[in-house]
Chains A and B, each alone.
Chain A
Amino acid sequence: KAGVTQTPRYLIKTRGQQVTLSCSPISGHRSVSWYQQTPGQGLQFLFEYFSETQRNKGNFPGRFSGRQFSNSRSEMNVSTLELGDSALYLCASSFTQQGASRGYTFGSGTRLTVV
């Protein structure tokens, strides 16, 4: 059974640009969550989608957005990139909407570098 797949693995963007990251959950999983990992702030929750609806949101500016498609695949978008957005972005999936309490399966992440 394939795990959580995130593409691309590495990305370099320039300040001011926008970026879209993709996450394909485990087959049958309907909940997808996104986390940002930086050395300074650690792992921070961005948002969670379940059945194409945003169910939970962290404390990030509106430049960070996401969506989920009918096949449960999810994308997150960051507009007007800043240097501080450089991070490892991790996607996690679970079968139910109570993913956090059940434990997620994480992907390997997309490492975004903003220059």
Chain B
Amino acid sequence: AQKVTQAQTEISVVEKEDVTLDCVYETRDTTYYLFWYKQPPSGELVFLIRRNSFDEQNEISGRYSWNFQKSTSSFNFTITASQVVDSAVYFCALSGRDDKIIFGKGTRLHILP
């Protein structure tokens, strides 16, 4: 069975600090996709990144970076120099052979001014 675990339920940091959101996944599929979504108070899930299981290169997009490590089944997300607008719930997700997205429980991030 597939599973995504986000152990951090809630995190609070002061603006401009760096913060890392952890994600650990379980799957028996050899081909799978990992995602991060952001859910601001307005409710919609905003797509941030997609990674396939064969691409372990880290990715950086502005202040956001992602570290994918198959050896530890982890796909962590780091926000550098956090801003108040980064406050939201962040979801890590996994999609495998059955083409259904399984979401983690989410991490609520508070960036304090």
Q: Report whether over half of chain B's contact residues are helix, strand or loop; otherwise say mixed.
A: strand
CB distance from A4 to the nearest CB of B (A): 8
CB distance from A61 to the nearest CB of B (A): 18
Given known A90-B45, A104-B47, A108-B42, contact A43–B91 (CB-CB < 8 A): yes
User: Is A42 within 8 A of B103, CB to CB?
Assistant: yes
| Distance A39 CA – B35 CA, assembled complex (angstroms) | 21
**Given the complex, which residues of A lie within 8 Å of B95, measured CB to CB?**
100-101
CB distance from A108 to the nearest CB of B (A): 4
Is B55 an interface position by the 8 A CB rule?
no
Given known A100-B95, A102-B50, A103-B50, contact A43–B43 (CB-CB < 8 A): no
User: Is A105 within 8 A of B33, CB to CB?
Assistant: no
Within 8 A of A (CB), among B37-61: 37, 42-47, 50, 52
Chain B, residue nearest A92 (CB): B45
CB distance from A6 to the nearest CB of B (A): 9
| Most A CB within 10 A of own CB, among B33, B44, B47, B52 | B44
Within 8 A of B (CB), among A76-103: 88, 90, 92, 97-103
A-B CB proximity, top 8 nearest: A106-B45, A43-B103, A100-B95, A108-B44, A100-B99, A109-B43, A100-B101, A103-B50
Q: Knowing that A4-B44, A106-B46 are A-B contacts, what are 15 other residue pairs whose CB atoms are under 8 Å apart, sorted by A's residue number?
A: A35-B103, A43-B106, A45-B101, A56-B100, A58-B100, A100-B33, A101-B33, A102-B50, A103-B33, A103-B50, A104-B45, A104-B47, A106-B44, A106-B45, A106-B47
Residues of chain A at the chain B interface (Cβ within 8 Å): 3-4, 33, 35, 42-43, 45, 48, 56, 58, 88, 90, 92, 97-109, 111
